[in-house]
Structure 1
């Protein structure tokens, strides 16, 4: 951890208002897209490279939009590789390089508070991206995260159908260090409470390995035959859960996700995952770029950040919230394919060719 307008319509809605979060990454992808500094430099700090979207979509899309809006602006980029301490060092480096605006998706929303305060004390504007960081940030852009959880929970209820009220459900939530995780959980409970029996609930820390361990524990506690469905807060964890379910001989039960990762879409086609949530990357990256450029140029952001969100530190932050979309096998073509997130060739590899044909994708 969203009902539903799909495909390009969702992107159009998100643009008119202008995306599992996930931790735990051993790969160090720190780097920059410019040699830095200067009065028109914007810093972009992303949390990890395990979550496929950040390197494949968010970073290049943000770069492209900044260049479109401000030809002489530069983007200084770094990835925290799942390490909150590394991200704090990266903020310090951005300050030293003389950036004027920092756009940050916090690896740990609370831990980064002091770094944000230091940046603001130096006259730097900070935009929280995808995750609402604590501290005096100037703006926040993300999706309606409570809605994300609602979409996930409702998709699970819908997949269970008439069996829902008698069903024991396992719930694997995200990392509590990510404020989005709490909102996904809130939304999911809104959709699930009173409709299913949540018999086991734990955090998977946004890690497939941890989620797999929690799923194994749930099976041991409840019994394989008693589990009717699984709520997973994102696709990465759903991958670990799906492997555990297969190993336990459990098949044909609904399993949720989020982020519309390629592997998640393929599992939906194969029947080992029932749904995901698509948060269109381009509208979010574009919105963040627009906010950053406006702040750099001293322009008003009220027409962009039309609502407010309260962070964990109690700061009320001007916010721009985009619209998420639930994805099942029935609307893959109208969402991620129509928006060109993936091609049919990307999805329909040899392993999934039969499933793609059955779903009308080939």
Structure 2
């Protein structure tokens, strides 16, 4: 083969290889092409101590996104309760080229500059469960003040005739960095004020250990015989509170929120009087639908059918769902009927008797 022929063969091979590589890129290879990045949705959740996030929210959102957009990818990370870490995760999502970011803020105020940085790069931000400050495109959650009202009413109902203006209760609220905590608190006070006396009120930071310590302090301050009920803003903290109450031989109504499996078990056993069930599936699926609509440039207002003003005064298209109070009386009609848990999951050996007494099988 002469030199000219060799050059023709080599040139032809290079062109063929280039065309082949281009064709592979267009076929949707997941190696990080610009086409691939264009169909990536980021998902950032705030902590690992709240059972629902890893158990329900993450898999439900991921599944729904992939049902609606088969070639979309979901990039996931969890802040593990660290606001600074979550800010770094937003920066990482920006660098990875996500086009939509679903964000459940660990610190709704502190994350504002990160939200702005993402939006400045053309990323649409969907606030999930907690309304982050900054120019978010949409927000999906439950009506959080009404959640607080449900909690307050459930506590009064459980207290029965002991619910008098002189009766002293303890309130353990959520983390002040979470805007939902303020709404739960406001809703609960709307129901409780004037009906009972809030003798001790502190933040438990959504942590069972902190809530336990706060209730121990409340027992010292108020006196164990004087505490007639305990408001806990969520089930994680209720677990720590229940331990403190048991250690001091105190048996009083105790609220919660999130319908954690352990909370359902405590309710059936008579250790916790109520929780609030915020079904993860409708919240997760509405969020995924909005995220995919934003990715594809579609109108999402049929899903986000109301608005909410954020702490930064942004008016945000929103979807606010209705929650349900759960007691012994309706465990079967809520978390069991919805398939959130099976009877087998609830009725472990330690709770077999409680399940039988409450008709759970």
- For structure 1, which segment, 295-304 or 235-244, has the greater mean C-alpha deviation from structure 2 after superposition? 295-304
Compute the displacement of 1:193 (Å): 0.8
5+ long unaligned stretches in structure 1: 1-33
For residues 148 and 281 of structure 1, the distance between their equivalents in structure 2, rounded to whole angstroms, comes to: 15
What's the TM-score once normalised by structure 2's chain length? 0.89
Name segments (4+ residues, structure 1) moved above 3 Å. Answer: 34-37
1:226 and 2:222 are equivalent in the alignment: no
1:57 and 2:56 are equivalent in the alignment: yes
In structure 2, the partner of 1:186 is: 186
- Structure number with larger C-alpha Rg: 2
For residues 309 and 202 of structure 1, the distance between their equivalents in structure 2, rounded to whole angstroms, comes to: 27
In structure 2, the partner of 1:43 is: 42
For residues 280 and 230 of structure 1, the distance between their equivalents in structure 2, rounded to whole angstroms, comes to: 24
3-state SS of 1:257 partner: coil
In structure 2, the partner of 1:15 is: none
Alignment of 1:114-263 (within 5 A): 114-165=113-164, 166-251=166-251, 253-263=252-262
For residues 225 and 90 of structure 2, the distance between their equivalents in structure 1, rounded to whole angstroms, comes to: 49
Deviations 1:241-291 (A, max 9, x none): 00000111112x100000000110010011110000000001000000000
Question: RMSD over aligned Cα, in angstroms?
Answer: 1.0
In structure 1, the partner of 2:317 is: 318
In structure 2, the partner of 1:77 is: 76
Deviations 1:264-321 (A, max 9, x none): 0010011110000000001000000000001111111221111111111111111100
The structure richer in helix per residue is: 2
3-state SS of 2:115 partner: helix
For residues 203 and 94 of structure 1, the distance between their equivalents in structure 2, rounded to whole angstroms, comes to: 31
1:300 and 2:295 are equivalent in the alignment: no
In structure 2, the partner of 1:350 is: 349
In structure 1, the partner of 2:288 is: 289
Deviations 1:214-235 (A, max 9, x none): 1011110111111100000000
1:339 and 2:338 are equivalent in the alignment: yes
What's the TM-score once normalised by structure 1's chain length? 0.89
For residues 360 and 95 of structure 2, the distance between their equivalents in structure 1, rounded to whole angstroms, comes to: 50
Compute the displacement of 1:49 (Å): 1.0
Compute the displacement of 1:130 (Å): 0.3
Deviations 1:24-49 (A, max 9, x none): xxxxxxxxxx8765111110001111
